[in-house]
Amino acid sequence: MIMRGLLLASLPLAMGFTAPRTGRTAMRMSAAVSQDELKKQVGYKAVDDYVKSGMIVGLGTGSTAAFAVERVGQLMKEGKLTDIVGIPTSVRTKEQAEELGIPLATLNEHSKLDVAIDGADEVDPALNLVKGGGGALLREKMVEVCADKFIVIVDESKLCDGLGPGFPLPVEITPFCHEHTLRLVEALPSVAGCKAVLRLGSSSSNAPDGDEPAVTDNGNYIVDLHFTEPIKDARAAAAELKNTVGVVDHGLFCDMTTAVIIAGSDGISVKEAKLALGKIMFGICFISILIPEHVQCLGLGCLAWAAEAQAQAQAQAQAQAQAQAQA
């Protein structure tokens, strides 16, 4: 019984359960700093704080993530990082990393990553994201969901009270009968009121720059969902979109973020996620398989309490954000 008690007590730590932390570390900087400089600062900070020698690193896609890739290459050239393996999330990130001399692999060789660093198009108070403005959402999600830590780097303009109105939600769909799939997506209850628009021209921008459908690195099309009101339930929308036949994946990244590094006119801040629901579910499965029934109730009770505490914290954060917006 003593050994079982120790196992149960140590389980949260073994699964990475730690006390929720949020922090804003101030680094004063000039209000005249350009947006590119802000992106560079958060990209460099993410690598400096989270990447260590010997790690397998997910390399994100986009103008902000490019600075993180640049920093990895720079530190490797200086000999400050060694034995790094990068997993790129797009063809253009692969090409950038190769130019910098970063050794690369794919998920076929490494299904578990130490850390992934990427930007985002929107970040809500619970650190759920909209991603995929650059068209790499499928590969980004495949890589970043495999990382022990997913670090998001943004400037403060990407923060929002609710996902949707600030940036169209991209949905990657198959080219086969794509107009049919577009109509199915637009009619889903969880995204009611959206306007679905087929992306044209280059897949790396949701601004039309051609007459033909944009084609992703995976040979698929992208439909951008435009909202005038915030998505009421991002998790429900994520599930409904994913379950729609013809949809490959979507740009809602829910419950994946470890921390967000934010650059703003008042400095750089770091916001860390609360306890991840995914880890809670893993813990429940772990207990049910490995621990005898007569001691499961205590562990499950602790996990249920943690889940309830997280839900309350997220609801409180959203309520505060809405109150501030109304004020």
Helix, strand, or coil here: 226? strand
* C-alpha pair distances (Å), 15 with each of 75, 281, 284: 31, 11, 11
Question: Does residue 140 carry a catalytic annotation?
Answer: yes
CA distance 194 to 186: 6
Q: E strands along the chain, which residues?
A: 56-59, 85-88, 113-118, 122-123, 129-130, 147-155, 169-173, 195-198, 221-226, 247-250, 252-253, 259-264, 267-272
Helix, strand, or coil here: 264? strand
- Catalytic residue of the set 37, 70, 78, 140: 140
- Cα distance between the two ends of the chain: 55
Question: Which residues partner with 190 through β-bridges?
Answer: none
Read off the amino acid at residue 282.
F
Diameter of the chain by CA atoms?
69
* C-alpha pair distances (Å), 250 with each of 142, 164, 196: 11, 13, 13
What single string gives the DSSP state of each residue in 44-103?
Answer: HHHHHHH--TT-EEEE--STTHHHHHHHHHHHHHTTSS-S-EEEESSHHHHHHHHHTT--
Burial class (CB in 10 A: 0-12, 13-18, 19+), 253: buried
Which residues make Cβ contacts (< 8 Å) with residue 43, sequence separation at least 6? 64, 65, 66, 67, 68, 70, 71, 117, 153
Cβ neighbours, 10 Å, residue 115: 21
Active site amino acids: 140
